[in-house]
Amino acid sequence: MVKSLHKKSFSYIYLLNLVLLTSGKLFASATLLEDVCRQTHDQPHCMNVLGSDPRTHNADLYELGLITIDLGSYSATGTKVKIHTLLLSEKDPQLRTRFVMCDDYYEDAIDSLRDAVDYLKRGDYTEFNLDGGSAYADAIDCEDAFKAPPAYISPLTDENYRLKQFGEIITIIANMFPVKA
Evaluate whether residue 92 is within a structural domain. Answer: yes
Evaluate whether residue 165 is within a structural domain. Answer: yes
Q: What's this model's pTM, rounded to 2 decimal places?
A: 0.82
Task: Give tens-digit pLDDT for 140-181.
Answer: 999 999 999 999 999 999 999 999 999 999 999 999 998 775
Give residues with Cβ within 8 angstroms of 162, minimum separation 6: 49, 75, 79, 139
Task: Give tens-digit pLDDT for 34-78.
Answer: 999 999 999 999 999 999 999 998 899 999 999 999 999 999 999
Evaluate whether residue 57 is within a structural domain. Answer: yes
- Domain containing 164 equals 31-176
Task: Report which of 97, 96, 105 is spatially closest to residue 159, judged by C-alpha positions.
Answer: 105
Evaluate whether residue 17 is within a structural domain. Answer: no
Evaluate whether residue 166 is within a structural domain. Answer: yes
Evaluate whether residue 6 is within a structural domain. Answer: no
Alpha helix positions (H), 123-156: 125-145
Q: What are phi and psi of 30, to 5 degrees?
A: -65, -45
